[in-house]
Structure formats: C-alpha cells, structure tokens
Amino acid sequence: MNEQIVAAGELKWWQRGIIYQIYPRSFQDSNDDGVGDLRGITARLPYVASLGVEAVWLSPIFTSPMRDFGYDVADYCDIDPLFGTLGDFDALVTEAHRLGLKVMLDYVPNHTSSDHAWFRDAITGPDSDRRDWYVWRAPAPDGGPPNNWVSFFGGPAWTLDPTSGQYYLHQFLPSQPDLNWRNPAVRRAMGDVLRFWMDRGVDGFRVDVIWLLAEDDRFLDEPENPDWTPGSVEHARLQHVYTQDQPETHAYIRELRQVLDEYDDRMMVGEIYLPVEQLLPYAGTPAQPMVHLPFNFHLILLPWHAAGVRDFADRYDAACVAAGSWPNWVLGNHDQHRFKSRVGAAQYRVAQTLLLTLRGTPTVYYGDEIGLQNVPIPPERMVDPAGVQQPDVPAASRDPERTPMHWNTQPNAGFTAGHVEPWLPVDDAFASLNVEQQESDPASDLNYFRALTRLRRDHPALVGGAYVSEDSGAADVFAFRRTLDGEVVTVLLNFGSASQTLGDLAQGRTLLSSVGDQPVAGAALRPNEARIVLR
C-alpha cells in the first residue's frame, strides 16, 4: 500500500481538511463602507466553522493601492486600512484558532505594487541600492520594449522609465513591477515576510503565480502560439517558454520551503496553471520538498463530460501515487467564473460531490456552498483591470465571480448596511438565495454541502482511502470507489439527463443522494444524480 493512503488521523491538516477561500472585499462589511473587512470576516467565522472546513485562505489584505484589488502589495507586513489593522488581524487569528480553523494568507512574491518602498527607491535611478530588486532592460534598437513579452492583462510586459531610459518588467499591470528573484537580497526579504506572518500565528500560505518567479535571462522573444484565435486574450498569443516554469523557479521554491520548515506544521499551496507532468514536480521530493500542494485547476479547465473527467482523475491520482505527493482539487476561485454557471444548475451537486469525494484536499470558493452564480456586471460597474483593459474579450473580467456574499434578505443581502453602494453589485437573486434561508431548509445546497463534509468526517475512506474508478457501463456515469481498512465507499455521478441502471455498482446502503432521499440498494441513478453508497 502506498504510504500516502493512510487513516485520516495520520494525515496532516492540509491533507485531511478542506480549504475555504474568502475574498475579503466581498465576504462581510463591518464598517458600512461597501467593502468587506477583517472584523466582518471574524464575525462570520462561526458560519465558516459550521461548514466543516479546516482552513480559511484570505485573498490579499495587505497595504495596497488596490489597482489589482490587493494583488499589488505596497507593504507585505501591514494590513490595508480598508480591511482593518494588525490588531484586527490578530483577533481574527485568535477567533479562528478558537473555532479550530487554520488561517492561510495570500503571499504575492512575483511582483510588488509600484507604490512599494522598494520600487519607489529602485525607480530613482540605476545607482539605487534597490535597482536590482526589479528587472530592468535597455530598449530594443528601435527604442521599443526589449522583447515581445506580453502582460497577462494585455499589452506589453514592459514599461519605459523615461528618467533612466530603461524598461522594467511586469507580467501584470505596469503598477505591478516584477521582483528580481535572481537577487539573493530579494529572496531573503521575501523569506522574512513569511516569518513575520508565521510569528503572528499564520498556519499557511497560498502563493500567488508561483510558477512565474523566474524569467530566462537571455530575454529572447517568445514564439507565437499557433492555436491562438483573435478575440481571445492577448496573453495567450505567445507560448510562454521564457517567462513561466523556469528551472530557477524550482530552486527559489526550495528556499521558501526551508523557511516554512523552520516552523511546525505550516504549509503552502502554489498557484500553478500547468499540465500534470509539469505541475507535480512543484511538490519536490522528500529530500528537496517544494510546495505542499501544487494547485490542480484541471476540473476548471476540462470540458464537463464523465469520460474526460474520469480519465483525468485516473491519470492525476496515479501520477500523485507514483510521485508520492498529495492530490488536491479546485472548482472555483476569484479568477474563474462560478462553477455553477459553468457546469449548469442541473450539474451543480454532481460537481460539488465530485470535489468533496475525490482523493485529495478540496479548495472551496466562498459562496459556492450556497450555489452562487456569475453575476452580470453592467459595463459602468466593471472594475477588474483584466476586464477593463480587454474590453473586446467579454469573459476576461473577473468581477462576475467576486460579488458580495448573500447572507440574508436585508438590503445588500446583509453584506453591508446599505448606506454606501457595495463595491460590486449584489446579485438580485439574493432574495431567494441566501445563507439564512438555506439554513432553515434541510434540502438546501448549504445543507447538502454540510452533509458532504459530515460524510468525510464519518467515513475516513473518503479522506485517506485509495481511489479507483469503475466501469459503470453508462457513458454519462463516472463511478469510483474509496477504500480504507475494509470500508468501501462508492461514488456514483450521473453527468447526463437520463436515468441509468448500474447493477452491482449501485448495491449498498445509500449514505447520501443529491436528490435528497434514500434510494434502495441497486436503484437506478436518476438524471443528474450524485449518490454515495456504502458497501
């Protein structure tokens, strides 16, 4: 038996538990300014704990001009006044720990804000002590940018500093200059940032765009992507062979891991959009560990078909077993459209069941537990730079998945008192789609989510057990088993809209059905049904 397939009690918290992502601007406003904050989050932590999750991950809360809503950090070691104070943060950590929740922060090492003291110093001129903390290049012979690299939000990845005549690199906005990770002083300073927060009791980090830390130092043009189609985002026009997944990046991550390992039981999960073969190496080896979890975003990227999802789950699980690394699964985050909108309302519980029963750590995006969907944003309310800078690509804006949480039927869904317009519109659907209403409805999506997390608690096979998929005999049905110490739990997922008779696979006692009843052993799987059966 693989050493990773062990009883839940022997697993680390980040293997055993569910990570719940909070987008702080949109969770709960406590001071009536239309933007969520730390005190609001603290007040809602009992709700988060009631979901049966293990950890909260907060998207950035640090000092920032908010041009990329906090992913442009001006001071890594302080809280932006919009969100509160360091005292509010300490209170949040204390309350989370009292409730048995771990706290994870968003660590943004690839770039700072141009308002950061380091960059303000660096841009004073080539003699600045901090000049080499960022990436500077001379113009091309025609005076233009040094090469063809493009920013994720469209436009060149280089901006001219007219004073020195040099360009600086930014993989995102011009106001998000890339740090130069080749410089050991940068790596030391960024290691100290981790120590600062671990000393304050932080349990882990989600590491922003960790696969982008290094660039090839020849600064060659990147090749065109032959599959790019006009009308899709400009960044996809190139193949990012010199700006992503460079060997130096792996070395830098090993150093970051050493910093984490100075402390007990801390973890980091890295944001990495790569195919499995390039993704799994980011976990490193037992001798040279890297991130504890390299985010697996493939459930977001794959077409929603039983056969394709099964094939991916089989390949990924086998690759994790072979590499001795722990799997993880994601359906949504603040950069991706809501999964209920993506897979369709009929498939919502099938997807939720899949996320919470596959082998590996699930990450849940706030509001997905009550079934929030994309919220249409009128053009004049669009604020996300990815959307504002790319008006010809309608799907580029991430505002639709970042709207305020729906708590109750009060004005603005209870997110903010209502004297100030919330920073993004609240979905009109809140009147019938909110936490309070779902709390009192045993058949609600919220209570279905809780039933799933209870099952994980009561059936260790669902957490630590081995995974093996089964031939269901129906093209639309993905079936798999989780087994541990003689316990066999079968998960049956109908991706289609026809009823399916499955014979032996459906035998056993129904632990949970997405339809809300208790089908007898062997009963046909109904359209769009998810069912969990104990043999």
Residues noted as catalytic: 208, 262
C-alpha distances out from residue 273 to 242, 278, 396, Å: 15, 9, 16
> Between vectors from CA 422 to CA 418 and to CA 423, what angle results, nearest 5°?
160
Interface characters, 116-155, with ligand GLC (x: CB under 6 A): ----------------------------------------
Q: Helices 445-458 & 348-357, crossing angle to 10 degrees?
A: 20
C-alpha distances out from residue 147 to 111, 172, 248, 527, Å: 19, 16, 21, 53
> Residues 226, 232, 237, 243: what is their CA dihedral angle, to the nearest 10 degrees?
-130
Phi, psi (deg, nearest 5) at residue 48: -60, -45
* Residue of the chain from 29, 208, 215, 234 that contacts ligand GLC (CB under 6 A): 208
Residue nearest to ligand GLC (CB): 71
Closest CA to 341 of 285, 399, 401, 281: 401
* Residue of the chain from 29, 37, 54, 68 that contacts ligand GLC (CB under 6 A): 68
168 binds ligand GLC (CB under 6 A): no
115 binds ligand GLC (CB under 6 A): no
Q: Would you say 57 or 348 has its CB closer to ligand GLC?
A: 57
Answer for the pair 333, 21: CB distance below 8 angstroms, yes or no: yes
Residues 208 and 269: their CA atoms lie apart, in Å, by 9
For the CB of residue 270, give the shortest distance to ligand GLC in the complex, in Å. 11
For the CB of residue 8, give the shortest distance to ligand GLC in the complex, in Å. 30
Q: Would you say 206 or 349 has its CB closer to ligand GLC?
A: 206
Residues 6 or more apart whose Cβ sits within 8 Å of residue 458: none
Cβ atoms within 10 Å, residue 475: 12
Interface with ligand GLC in residues 180-199 (CB under 6 A): none
Answer for the pair 405, 392: CB distance below 8 angstroms, yes or no: no
Q: Would you say 95 or 335 has its CB closer to ligand GLC?
A: 335
Q: Would you say 71 or 339 has its CB closer to ligand GLC?
A: 71
For the CB of residue 459, give the shortest distance to ligand GLC in the complex, in Å. 33
For the CB of residue 368, give the shortest distance to ligand GLC in the complex, in Å. 16
57 binds ligand GLC (CB under 6 A): no
Q: Would you say 149 or 495 has its CB closer to ligand GLC?
A: 149
436 binds ligand GLC (CB under 6 A): no
Residues 30 and 7: their CA atoms lie apart, in Å, by 41
> Between vectors from CA 25 to CA 79 and to CA 94, what angle results, nearest 5°?
50
Q: Helices 184-199 & 247-260, crossing angle to 10 degrees?
A: 30
> What is the total residue count of the chain?
535
> Residues 436, 440, 441, 444: what is their CA dihedral angle, to the nearest 10 degrees?
40
Three-class SS state of 38:
helix
Q: Would you say 212 or 435 has its CB closer to ligand GLC?
A: 212
Three-class SS state of 247:
helix
Size of the site for ligand GLC (CB under 6 A): 9
369 binds ligand GLC (CB under 6 A): no
Q: Would you say 67 or 250 has its CB closer to ligand GLC?
A: 67
Answer for the pair 48, 58: CB distance below 8 angstroms, yes or no: no
Residues 75 and 362: their CA atoms lie apart, in Å, by 30
Interface characters, 249-278, with ligand GLC (x: CB under 6 A): ----------------------x-------
For the CB of residue 207, give the shortest distance to ligand GLC in the complex, in Å. 10
104 binds ligand GLC (CB under 6 A): no
For the CB of residue 474, give the shortest distance to ligand GLC in the complex, in Å. 37
366 binds ligand GLC (CB under 6 A): no
Three-state SS for 256-267 is HHHHHCCCCCCE
* Residue of the chain from 172, 297, 316, 495 that contacts ligand GLC (CB under 6 A): 172
Interface with ligand GLC in residues 328-347 (CB under 6 A): 334-335
Q: Would you say 169 or 530 has its CB closer to ligand GLC?
A: 169
178 binds ligand GLC (CB under 6 A): no
Interface characters, 305-324, with ligand GLC (x: CB under 6 A): --------------------
399 binds ligand GLC (CB under 6 A): no
- Whose structure tokens read 């992502």? 21
For the CB of residue 60, give the shortest distance to ligand GLC in the complex, in Å. 8
For the CB of residue 504, give the shortest distance to ligand GLC in the complex, in Å. 44
209 binds ligand GLC (CB under 6 A): yes
Enclosing H/E stretch for 106: strand 102-107
Residues 477 and 492: their CA atoms lie apart, in Å, by 7
71 binds ligand GLC (CB under 6 A): yes
Residues in the site for ligand GLC, rule: CB under 6 A?
A: 68, 71, 108, 172, 208-209, 271, 334-335
